[in-house]
Amino acid sequence: MSEMSKIVRTIAAIVFPFIMIYGLYVIAHGHLTPGGGFQGGAIVASACALLLVAYGSMWTMRRIGEKRLSVFESIGAFFFIALALLGLFFGAVFFNNFLAGSSFLFGDIPMVGSNTGDMNTGGVLPLMNFAVGIKVVAGLFVIILVMAYASNHMEKKRGEKQG
Amino acid sequence: MSRRDMFAVVFFSIVCMFFIFSALLMHPFGSPDETDMDDMIIKNTQRETGANNGVTSVVFDYRGFDTLGEATILFTAVAGVVLLFRRMKET
Amino acid sequence: MLLEYAHIVIPIFIVATSIFAVLLRDLLGAAVAVAAMSLLLSLEFYILQAPDVAIAEAGVGACLTTAILIIAIKATKRMEEEI
């Protein structure tokens, strides 16, 4: 995909931070409001897809290679499984929520019933949300990036053959 | 009418009948048959996991293995797509 | 009362956009019809009180799937051939 006109590029650059902030909000408040790692990751990947459409796949590939995105996805998967294994060590079972109730990071217990919500609750759930968020952003964006780059490359080769 | 059309009509009516009967047997909205598991999770989720959002606590805590399988599926899909299109990039 | 009507109207629109997606010869229009179907489905999920699924459907179905379909159409042909 080649880059689009200057109007589209400017509007995409203005809109991009707002979509990004909304996606990061959905990831970070996954244990309080509807949403979570997968939903917020899909929104952030949509913002990156907007940049890809506006600026072209060559520009995006130069900024973020697919190797770096693969590394990010592996980091997300590693942290997810590592948190589950830490539950096995500190608690009793795999996927044990060992941070809930301890006076450590994210360790508070909220009042039962409807309450105003506190960021410092949830045990390992916010950390797992972040791990899955990184994984989903990298995974969904690398699919679109690699497909767009290959399609652009193929089109260029077809043009060379004809001309 | 050929034999293939007859088969299609019979199959379509059977599927339609199945859908109509299941629509007639549907429960009213918000009142499922078995409520033991739902009640247990709704009552205990804030005390046990400390999260206000019950859905996230089910996805990441009570049913964590499902999320692990979902992550594996995403990983496999990405690996397949990158394997397929990276060769296209080089050649 | 309004919600009762919404439960009737939105599924009819979902079925109509799905029929458009199947019938259209222009594949780009069919991709846009799929995106509209996905957005209406996310609205239906929202009024059925499942906001988690609605956010996931709006993000994946209406944006990323459409992007993948349009990239695939760009790499191949736009119009469907007559059989």
Dump pLDDT digits (tens) for B34-65: 888 888 888 888 888 888 888 888 888 888 88
Cβ within 8 Å of residue B72, ≥6 positions away: none
Specify the number of domains making up chain A.
Answer: 1
What's the one-letter identity of residue C45? F
Give B1's pLDDT tier (boundaries 50, 70, 90): confident
Q: Is the pLDDT at A40 greater than 90, yes or no? A: yes
Under DSSP, is residue A121 helix (H, G, I), strand (E, B) or coil?
Answer: strand
Test A154 with C75 for CB contact under 8 angstroms. yes
Test C71 with A148 for CB contact under 8 angstroms. yes
Q: Is the pLDDT at B17 greater than 90, yes or no? A: yes
Does C48 lie at the interface with A, CB-CB under 8 angstroms?
no
Under DSSP, is residue C22 helix (H, G, I), strand (E, B) or coil?
Answer: helix
Q: Is the pLDDT at A64 greater than 80, yes or no? A: yes
Test C64 with A154 for CB contact under 8 angstroms. no
Q: DSSP secondary-structure letter at C79?
A: B
Test A42 with C68 for CB contact under 8 angstroms. no
**pLDDT at residue A109, as a whole number:** 80
pLDDT in tens, A82-131: 988 888 888 788 888 888 777 777 777 877 878 887 888 888 888 999 99
For A140-158, what is the mean pLDDT? 87
Residue B86 tokens, joined: 């990276």
Which residue stretches of chain C have pLDDT < 50?
none
Residue A1 tokens, joined: 């995909």
Domain annotation covers residue A82: yes
* Spatial distance between the Cα atoms of B88 and B81, rounded to a whole number of angstroms: 11
Cβ pair A107, A42 in contact under 8 A: no
Residue at token pair 């799929």: C34
For A49-54, what is the mean pLDDT? 91
Residue A146 tokens, joined: 């690699």
Domain annotation covers residue A1: no
Q: Is the pLDDT at B91 greater than 60, yes or no? A: no
State which residues form the domain around A156.
6-162
Partner B, chain A 86-145, Cβ-Cβ below 8 Å: 94-95, 97, 100-101, 106-113, 115, 117, 121-125, 128-129, 132, 135-136, 139, 142-143
Domain annotation covers residue A52: yes
What's the one-letter identity of residue B68? L
Cβ pair B75, A138 in contact under 8 A: no
- B42 CB neighbours in chain A (<8 A) are none
Test A144 with C72 for CB contact under 8 angstroms. no
* Spatial distance between the Cα atoms of A144 and C60, rounded to a whole number of angstroms: 12
